[in-house]
Chain A
């Protein structure tokens, strides 16, 4: 369960930061203070699933669950390659 708890904790932390920044960003935007916070909030939200995979990989390595660590590692690599291809 360590894998699930740690991954969920990371997802929760990152998505909450993203949400707080987004809400503050909308308020700032309505007050005419620019869209910097909104930009940051959306970027943090987008990155949250990726952050989840990194924590899962770290947990699996820590548990020496090598088969599943390899699975997480391959997925990270494919995700990065996919982004590089589409950029």
Chain B
């Protein structure tokens, strides 16, 4: 492989890794178009993208999970219905028009991004005697305070994650853009924990697809390694920023990023943007 191409792949991975770690997004929306523009087949691009997503997710999680920013229990819980939704999505995908789903997805993302800008974050503090299974806390290193919160609408959140998993697997667009607002707005999870938990979850979501492609021999090894090394390093850099940034600012920047991404999805759905 051309060493220059390898460096280019690492730089792309680095950028996606930083973005992923900051906002709990996977980076598939960056990886796939770039790889298609490089002349790869869609299947090859998706397979490499999934491996890049795992590298970024696990890289960020080595810090977020260790520091207690990722809520592992919540991640495992929501991942159950996300994975179930993904399986259902893969089965019913052939019966639905992809562009319709992409438009629905973009509308949901626009709406939740708008809500995140307009409405302030509300955290439900556990009552003094609360020892419930849904009461958690984390230490915010930026403010130096311990933040306690109690999950709200757990069943509704799980149900919506099924829908998020279905749409993700049918459109190939990541669930982070939906899951972070879902956790933050609906389940009242603090923004930093929502994005760090999403970072942790997307690696698990990507695992099933990635292992299937790998066992099927559909992974271009050098491309995948270049992207993965970059994404891993980028994610570590992203965690440094997240730990220091004010949670309110993180929430605002997240909205801007998802507005841009939802617009890209809409343009793809309309056929204005074509990558191959």
Q: Which of B92-100, B173-181, B216-224, B252-260 contacts A (4 or more CB under 8 A)?
A: B216-224
Q: Given that A26-B6, A79-B204, A82-B208 are known contacts, is A49 also in contact with B66, CB under 8 Å in the complex? A: no
Q: Given that A8-B66, A42-B225 are known contacts, is A71 also in contact with B59, CB under 8 Å in the complex? A: no
> What mask results when residues 119 to 149 of chain B are scored 1 for a CB within 8 Å of chain A, else 0?
0000000000000010000000000000000
Measured CB to CB, the closest approach of chain B to A49, in angstroms, equals: 4
In the bound complex, what is the Cα–Cα distance between A14 and B203 (angstroms)?
13
- When C-beta atoms are compared, the residue in chain B nearest to A77 turns out to be B80
Q: Would you call A29 and B229 a contact (CB within 8 A)?
A: no
- The reply on B275 being an interface residue by CB < 8 A is no
Residues of A within 8 A of B208 (CB): 79, 82-83, 86
Q: Would you call B73 and A45 a contact (CB within 8 A)?
A: no
Measured CB to CB, the closest approach of chain A to B81, in angstroms, equals: 9
Measured CB to CB, the closest approach of chain B to A3, in angstroms, equals: 6
Chain A at the B interface: SS class: helix
In the bound complex, what is the Cα–Cα distance between A39 and B222 (angstroms)?
9
- When C-beta atoms are compared, the residue in chain B nearest to A87 turns out to be B212
Measured CB to CB, the closest approach of chain B to A86, in angstroms, equals: 5
- When C-beta atoms are compared, the residue in chain A nearest to B222 turns out to be A29
- The reply on B182 being an interface residue by CB < 8 A is no
- The reply on A33 being an interface residue by CB < 8 A is no
Q: Given that A15-B55, A42-B219, A82-B87 are known contacts, is A23 also in contact with B214, CB under 8 Å in the complex? A: no
List A57-80 residues whose CB lies under 8 Å from chain B: 67-68, 71-72, 74-75, 78-79
Q: Would you call B229 and A75 a contact (CB within 8 A)?
A: no
Q: Would you call A26 and B222 a contact (CB within 8 A)?
A: yes
Interface residue tally on A, bucketed by range:
35 or more
Residues of B within 8 A of A81 (CB): 87
Residues of A within 8 A of B80 (CB): 71, 74-75, 78
B contact residues, total (Cβ < 8 Å): 49
Name which of B1, B51, B204, B211 has the most chain A CB atoms within 10 A of its CB. B211
- The reply on B206 being an interface residue by CB < 8 A is yes
Name which of A11, A23, A78, A81 has the most chain B CB atoms within 10 A of its CB. A11
Q: Would you call A48 and B77 a contact (CB within 8 A)?
A: no
List B36-59 residues whose CB lies under 8 Å from chain A: 51, 54-55, 57-59
In the bound complex, what is the Cα–Cα distance between A87 and B68 (angstroms)?
35
- The reply on B215 being an interface residue by CB < 8 A is yes
Measured CB to CB, the closest approach of chain B to A32, in angstroms, equals: 11
Q: Would you call B225 and A38 a contact (CB within 8 A)?
A: yes
- The reply on B79 being an interface residue by CB < 8 A is yes
Interchain Cβ contacts under 8 Å between A and B, 13 examples: A4-B70, A14-B58, A42-B51, A42-B225, A42-B228, A46-B207, A47-B211, A49-B58, A50-B211, A52-B61, A56-B76, A71-B76, A75-B76
Beyond known contacts A15-B62, A23-B229, A86-B209: 16 more, CB 8 A cutoff = A4-B67, A4-B70, A8-B61, A11-B61, A11-B65, A12-B66, A26-B1, A26-B226, A49-B54, A49-B57, A71-B80, A79-B204, A79-B207, A86-B90, A86-B208, A87-B215
Residues in A lying within 8 Å of B, measured CB to CB: 1, 3-5, 7-9, 11-12, 14-15, 18-19, 22-23, 25-26, 29-30, 35, 38-39, 41-43, 45-50, 52-53, 56, 67-68, 71-72, 74-75, 78-79, 81-83, 85-87
